[in-house]
Amino acid sequence: MSESPYIVEVTKENLDAVIQKSMETPILFDFWADWCEPCKSLMPILAKLADEYQGAFILAKMDTEAEPEIAQQLGIRSLPTVKLIINGGVADEFSGALPEGEVRAFLDKHIAAPVEQPAEQGPVAVAEALMAQGQPDAALQVLREAQAEDPENGDIAIALGQACVATGNFDDARKCLSILNDVDAKKPGATKLKGLLTLSDADDATKDEASLVAAIQQDATNSEACYQLGVKQALRGEFETSFETLLALMLRDREYGDDGARKTILSIFDTMGDDPRVGVLRRKMFNYLH
């Protein structure tokens, strides 16, 4: 007897009950015999599909050697024979050992295959999706609730810190970074968070981008304006544009901010993480420096 809840052995004692069950759930009758080699190749396919379909049908196995009278009454003339019983009647049947694809097609004509349910998303994945949809405040709420339930989870703390930066809560972001253990602090997400905080520290919030652009148009050598423009571009996620802005400043004025342009470019690389563009930009900076 199979241990699967979707497979039953049929005898004359339970035949009527199995047929009655077909009024609720389709029954796939498999007529077989121990001497039948094709039966043995078909059996595991049927058993696999019974478990895969998770109760969409019940596999009823009948040994025709043990129950010859029933097999004769049902007109079984060759083995293996498979009959699909729905609402007490034969809805379809086939004979012979079909490959799995054909058996699946046979079932799908009458039975809806189960829809695989997506795995439940964790709070970090939910928050990332909200961030991608332009809903940082909603992401922040999800992560704050998750951290309250699991305060030692480093991945949640890292994601929360990044969401805090995105919503301007820089002090809270630093707190998230400070509670990381040594292992979590070395994760790419933590490195990205450090880069974001370095950029936010460098940003002068009293200066808007339009005034910086205007200042540069009046004086292209205005290092402070160029630097602040590059920082704001990076915080907005325009990393390549920011790189070009800061690279130009680095090549023209290495003394500004104690080599501040180069240091900020390195923070941008940290923020970009494993982005493939980082390698290209690193090589470009190296070539200019050497």
Catalytic residue numbers? 36, 39
Q: Is 83 helix (H, G, I), strand (E, B) or coil?
A: strand
Cα angle value 99/2/84 (rounded, 5°): 50
Q: Is 168 left (phi over 0), alpha (psi -120 to 50) or beta?
A: left
Look up residue 271 and give its amino acid: T
Helix, strand or coil, per DSSP, at residue 85: strand
**CA 275, CA 268: separation in Å to the nearest integer?**
11
What is the DSSP-derived secondary structure letter of residue 86?
A: E
What secondary structure letter does DSSP report for 76? -
128/124 Cα distance (integer angstroms): 6
Residue 267's alpha-carbon distances to 115, 248, 255, 272, in angstroms, are 45, 16, 18, 9
